[in-house]
C-alpha cells in the first residue's frame, strides 16, 4: 500500500501550518524576529536564514507552498529517505536566503522582509525534474500534460525574467532561483562524494 504522506514531508507541512496559526496571534513579533530581513537592517539575525521559510503571508501563500511540497516532496522522500530529504530541503532554504540577500539585500532603501517556503519548494521542484524528468504533469492553463523537466525549465526561466525585469513586485524571484541553485549543488555534491567513495 503506497504511503500517502511520508514522515518528513508530513512534519514539514504540520510545522508550517502550526507556525502559520501562531502568526495569527503574534504577527508583528514573529515577522520582526523570524522573517528574513536585509543585511543592512537592524532587524537581521543569522537564524533568519532558516526561520523565514516557516512564515507565510496569507492562506493562499501557505496553501500553494504546502500543496507543492505534498505533491513533489513525498516522491523525493520515498526515493531518498527522510534524512536526506530534510537535509536537501534545508540546504535549498538556506541557499535561497543567501541568494536573495546577495542580490537584493544591499539595495538602497530595501527594507522588505522575505517570508515563505518557496525557496525550499523550488529546490524540491528542481530535484523532482532531475530524478523524474519524464514524469508528466498537468499544469493550468496548459491543456496537455508536459514532462517535469520542461515544466521546471520554463518555470525557472520565468523566475529569472521576472527577477531581472522587476515584474511581480513583492515576490522574491531570486530566492526561488537560489533554492533551485542550492538544490542542484546539493545533488552534485552527493553524486561527487558517491563517485569518490567507491
Query: pLDDT digit string (tens) for 64-77?
Result: 999 999 999 999 99
Number of domains forming the structure of the chain: 1
Q: CA-to-CA distance for 191 and 186, rounded, in angstroms?
A: 9
Q: CA-to-CA distance for 11 and 166, rounded, in angstroms?
A: 34
Is residue 109 over pLDDT 90?
no
**How far does CA 81 lie from the centroid of its chain?**
19
Q: Is residue 2 part of a domain?
A: no
Q: What would the grid cell of residue 109 be?
A: 532603501
- Contact criterion met (CB below 8 Å) for 92 and 123: yes
Q: Is residue 1 part of a domain?
A: no
Query: pLDDT digit string (tens) for 169-182?
Result: 778 889 999 999 99
Please provide the average confidence, as pLDDT, over all residues in the chain.
89
CATH code for the domain in which residue 167 is found: 1.20.1540.10
Is residue 106 over pLDDT 80?
no
Residue 53 lies in domain: 7-196
Q: CA-to-CA distance for 133 and 176, rounded, in angstroms?
A: 20
Amino acid at each position: 500500500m503506497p504511503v500517502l504522506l511520508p514522515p518528513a514531508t508530513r512534519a514539514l507541512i504540520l510545522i508550517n501550518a502550526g507556525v502559520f496559526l501562531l502568526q495569527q496571534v503574534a504577527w508583528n513579533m514573529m515577522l520582526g524576529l523570524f522573517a528574513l530581513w536585509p543585511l543592512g537592517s537592524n532587524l537581521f539575525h543569522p537564524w533568519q536564514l532558516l526561520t523565514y521559510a516557516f512564515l507565510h503571508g496569507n492562506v493562499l501563500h501557505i496553501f500553494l507552498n504546502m500543496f507543492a511540497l505534498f505533491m513533489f516532496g513525498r516522491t523525493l522522500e520515498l526515493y531518498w529517505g527522510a534524512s536526506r530529504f530534510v537535509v536537501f530541503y534545508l540546504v535549498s532554504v538556506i541557499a535561497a536566503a543567501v541568494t536573495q540577500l546577495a542580490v537584493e539585500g544591499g539595495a538602497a532603501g530595501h527594507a522588505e522582509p522575505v517570508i515563505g517556503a518557496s525557496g525550499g519548494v523550488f529546490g524540491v521542484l528542481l530535484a523532482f525534474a532531475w530524478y523524474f524528468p519524464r514524469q508528466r504533469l498537468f499544469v493550468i492553463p496548459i491543456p496537455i500534460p508536459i514532462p517535469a523537466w520542461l515544466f521546471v525549465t520554463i518555470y525557472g526561466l520565468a523566475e529569472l525574467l521576472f527577477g531581472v525585469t522587476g515584474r511581480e513586485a513583492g515576490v522574491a524571484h531570486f530566492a526561488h532561483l537560489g533554492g533551485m541553485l542550492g538544490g542542484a549543488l546539493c545533488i552534485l555534491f552527493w553524486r561527487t562524494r558517491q563517485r569518490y567513495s567507491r
